[in-house]
Every structure is written in structure tokens, then in C-alpha cells.
Structure 1
Amino acid sequence: MTTRTFRITVRGVFDGLSTEQRAELLTGAAEHDVLQAAFTAEGHLSYDLAARPAFTFRFLDEGEAEEDILDAVERAETAATSWLAGRGYGFKRLRAQGEDLSQAPLGKRQRRAIAQSATP
């Protein structure tokens, strides 16, 4: 069996942050900048609290079957919830979505590379 790679995005909104929590998040904002966002196994948090209270966690997971994405999404949502709750950050409207990269459409360069490798 082949290994499938899943990208899971968990989005939500910070809710009811204290002044201290908000200051803590603003202090760490450079580390969580959207421009440095990446999909990682442990999850990468990005936000721009100065602009709006929304956040995004990006997770990378693997599975062998198409239905394994459901478990991957659940693990990602649990990890995001644990991270937030462990720091006492309130949140709402948490939603998660997964993408199986083996099902993602090929980009123009990928299609060209495949066409060139198939030509004798």
C-alpha cells in the first residue's frame, strides 16, 4: 500500500482573551506570522491578532487508506483544542478540513514534467 499525505487545517477565533493573554499572543506574533505558515506534524499556529482574532493551525499527517483522513482530521482538531485549552485561551467556531494530497490536482509544471517523461 502507498502512504497518503494529508494536510489538515483547523480554523477558529480567539474568544474572551484577557489583557494578559492578548499581550502574550501579541508578543509571540512574529513566530506565528502567516507568511511563515507551514504544514507540520506537530501543527503550526498562525494568526494576526492585531488585524483580527482568527487563527489557523496547519497539520501534516499520513495514512494508508482514503478514509484515514477522517482520523487525521480528528487528531488535528484534538491537538489544536488541547494546545488552546492548555494555555487557557478561549476560542469559538472551531472547524477542521482535510485534504488528501494524492487526490489534489496537478499543477502546470507537474503535468508538463509527466508529459515530458512519457515522451520517448
Structure 2
Amino acid sequence: MATEHTYRVIVRGKWDGLTEEGRARLRAEADEQGLAQLRFTPEGSLACDPSMTSFAYRYVVVSDAADGEEMAAALAEEKAEHALRAAGYGYRDLRSSATDMDTMKINRKRR
């Protein structure tokens, strides 16, 4: 039986050919959702920089531990690509970083 781990993945990229309509839609969504909506979720949470040149998606990915962070990152990038295409947004230069939450060490402060 394979062990599954939970990964937090951030997928970063740059907008490519973003139309004025797209910019307006992204700004409206950002204003509507606010910072409280920026969290790691299976569906992904999109954050854009104010200049509308780059973006970041935050995902929670549950994957086989044997596949490691690389597979979790690849799965998150695939989700981001699908979401961006579905919304009609052009993008480029996707890269990601993953953190295995099941092996993460928590340093507690001593009193």
C-alpha cells in the first residue's frame, strides 16, 4: 500500500498577451476576493501582482510519497495550465516549488 503525502505547491508564471479585458477581470476578481482568499486549496488560489506582469497559484496536492515533490509540482502546474487556458489567459515561464507537509519539521519556541 502506497503512502500519500500532502504537498503545498506554488506555481509562478508571467502573463503573456494579457488583454485589457483580462486585466480588468483579474482586478475585479482580486478586489472581490481579497487577501483572505489567498490560501492553499485543491482548486488553486490565484494571486496577481499589481502591475499585472506575473502571478502565482497556490495548490494543495495529495500524491504518492514515492513520487515526491517533483510529481506534486508537475500535477499543480498541469492544474494551473488548465485553469489559465479555461479562463483564456495567456501565460509563460511556469515554474513551481513544492513542500511536503508530512515531512516538514516544526520548530517550537522554548519557554
Q: TM-score by structure 2 length?
A: 0.81
Distance 2:36 2:107 in 1: 22
Aligned to 1:106: 106
Flag the 1:74–1:32 CA change in 2: closer, same or farther, 3 A: farther
Aligned to 2:87: 87
After superposition, residues 1-120 of structure 1 pair within 5 angstroms as 2-31=3-32, 33-34=34-35, 36-48=37-49, 50-109=50-109
Q: In the alignment, is the contact (CA less than 8 A) between 2:13 and 2:93 conserved in 1? A: yes
Distance 1:17 1:100 in 2: 33
Amino acid at match of 2:25: E
Flag the 1:30–1:65 CA change in 2: closer, same or farther, 3 A: same
Unaligned runs of 5+ in 1: 113-120
Flag the 1:30–1:21 CA change in 2: closer, same or farther, 3 A: same
Distance 2:56 2:104 in 1: 21
Which protein is bigger by CA-based radius of gyration?
1
CA RMSD between the two structures: 2.2
Flag the 1:18–1:63 CA change in 2: closer, same or farther, 3 A: closer
Runs (4+) off by over 3 Å: 31-36
Distance 1:66 1:33 in 2: 36
Amino acid at match of 2:76: A
Higher helix share: 1
Residue aligned with 2:6, SS: strand
Residue aligned with 1:67, SS: helix
Unaligned runs of 5+ in 2: none
Q: In the TM superposition, what is the alpha-carbon distance from 1:76 to its structure 2 partner?
A: 0.8
Aligned to 1:116: none
Distance 1:80 1:103 in 2: 25
Higher strand share: 2
Flag the 1:19–1:68 CA change in 2: closer, same or farther, 3 A: same
Flag the 1:32–1:14 CA change in 2: closer, same or farther, 3 A: farther
Q: In the TM superposition, what is the alpha-carbon distance from 1:53 to its structure 2 partner?
A: 1.9
